């Protein structure tokens, strides 16, 4: 993992420095209010790197990962470590920066074949929903194919390589079709959009067709049979790809657990998990697809670096850059 630490940190640190410069130029400061200019002992780039590395590891608990792996095995990479309680406090400072890094540098591009689905994110067990306080006012009761739950829904759109194109978080009682009614969620999509039966809606189909998006779903038992192109039937069989992505997000990147003590840390954990998935080396492209991709033969970290270079964010070539 140590080789990945340098690569991940260099990309995040370059983005963080440029992000701080832009925010400083665009932010208006109060003339009468005094602020402390002393820097934190641990930088934002180090906190973001540790959060992403946690989701790339096999640890199930952030506290165990920080105390057992980071503090013992990564002292040379992170010389200014703080206590775990202080590290948890620093998570809320990097939440907005993580969201900006994900939206600007880590999301994939539409290739004309996209898959959409939603997955529940439980805040607690459904029997404890009445006494749950951390997510009160944010989480709601909802029902999925696995039964009732209390929490949120994560809506994701992926391309045929398994890269996440867009995402949206909604309460648990939100309909799966609601994000598609928002133009910002589908502004980068074109071509075919494969979905399950929960997205069947004639009005939604017509609205997406005007935006050059052809939504393909299976029909329900009480619906009349309709002719479908053979190529569309083959794509419907490939819809298991997005189920694999949901499984990797939950079981490998660990975006879902019920130990959160604040909404900010819930969002930070979710966003860092999605970033970790986007830089994982394994993706499952569709077989026998003759589609040209700009980053087809690049590793995920190289693809993120190329996107940052195109947007004017300088990437260091020195692989021996220290994490301090």
Q: Where in the chain is CATH 3.30.420?
A: 110-259
The two three-digit tokens of residue 107, written as one number: 């999301």
Higher pLDDT, 245 or 283: 245
- Rounded to the nearest angstrom, the gap between the alpha carbon of residue 232 and the centroid of all alpha carbons in its chain is 28
- Condensed to tens digits (0 to 9), the pLDDT of residues 264-305 reads 889 999 999 999 998 876 555 554 444 334 444 455 666 676
**Which pair of structure tokens corresponds to residue 161?**
């390589």
- What pLDDT sits at residue 319? 42
What is the reported pLDDT for 313?
64
d(CA 73, CA 87): 17
Q: What would the CATH number be for the domain defined by 110-259?
A: 3.30.420
Give residue-wise pLDDT tens across range 69-87: 999 888 888 998 999 999 9
Q: Which tens digit of pLDDT belongs to each residue from 40-57? A: 788 899 999 999 999 988
Q: Distance between CA atoms of 53 and 220, rounded to whole angstroms?
A: 43
- Structure tokens, 186: 């589908």
Identify the pLDDT of residue 247: 92
**pLDDT at residue number 47:** 94
pLDDT for 168: 94
Q: What angle do CA 204, 187, 220 make, to 5 degrees?
A: 25
Integer Cα distance of 120 and 303 in angstroms: 29
Say how far apart CA 37 and CA 93 lie, in whole Å: 16
Q: State the Cα–Cα distance between residues 13 and 323, nearest whole angstrom.
A: 9
Radius of gyration over every alpha carbon of the chain, rounded to an integer in angstroms? 21
Q: Are 87 and 42 in contact (CB under 8 A)?
A: yes
Q: Which residues contact 9 (CB under 8 A, 6 or more apart)?
A: 45, 46, 49, 77, 321, 323
């Amino acid at each position: 993992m140590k080789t990945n630490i340098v690569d991940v940190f260099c990309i995040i640190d370059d983005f963080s420095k440029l992000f701080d410069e832009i925010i400083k130029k665009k932010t208006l400061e109060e003339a009468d209010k005094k602020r402390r200019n002393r820097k934190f002992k641990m930088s934002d780039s180090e906190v973001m790197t540790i959060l992403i590395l946690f989701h790339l590891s096999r640890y199930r608990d952030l506290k165990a990962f920080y105390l057992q792996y980071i503090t013992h095995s990564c002292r040379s990479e992170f010389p200014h470590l703080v206590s775990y309680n202080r590290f948890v406090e620093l998570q809320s400072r990097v939440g907005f920066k993580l969201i900006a890094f994900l939206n600007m540098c880590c999301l994939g591009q539409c290739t004309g074949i996209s898959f959409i689905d939603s997955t529940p994110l439980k805040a607690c067990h459904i029997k404890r929903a009445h006494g749950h306080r951390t997510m009160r006012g944010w989480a709601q009761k909802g029902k999925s194919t696995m039964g009732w739950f209390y929490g949120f829904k994560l809506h994701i759109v992926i391309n045929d390589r398994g890269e996440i194109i867009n995402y949206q978080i909604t309460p648990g009682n939100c309909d799966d079709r609601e994000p598609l009614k928002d133009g910002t969620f589908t502004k980068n999509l074109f071509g075919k959009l494969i979905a399950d039966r929960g997205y069947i809606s004639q009005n939604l189909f017509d609205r997406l067709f005007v935006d050059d998006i052809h939504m393909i779903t299976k029909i329900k038992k009480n619906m009349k049979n309709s002719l479908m192109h053979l190529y569309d039937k083959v794509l419907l069989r490939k819809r298991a790809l997005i189920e694999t992505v949901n499984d990797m997000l939950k079981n490998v990147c660990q975006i879902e657990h019920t130990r959160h003590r604040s909404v900010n840390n819930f969002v930070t954990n979710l966003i860092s998990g999605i970033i970790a998935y986007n830089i994982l080396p394994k993706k499952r492209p569709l077989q026998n697809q003759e589609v040209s991709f700009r980053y087809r033969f690049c590793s995920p970290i190289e693809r993120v670096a190329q996107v940052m270079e195109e947007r004017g964010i300088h990437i260091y070539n020195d692989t021996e850059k220290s994490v301090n």
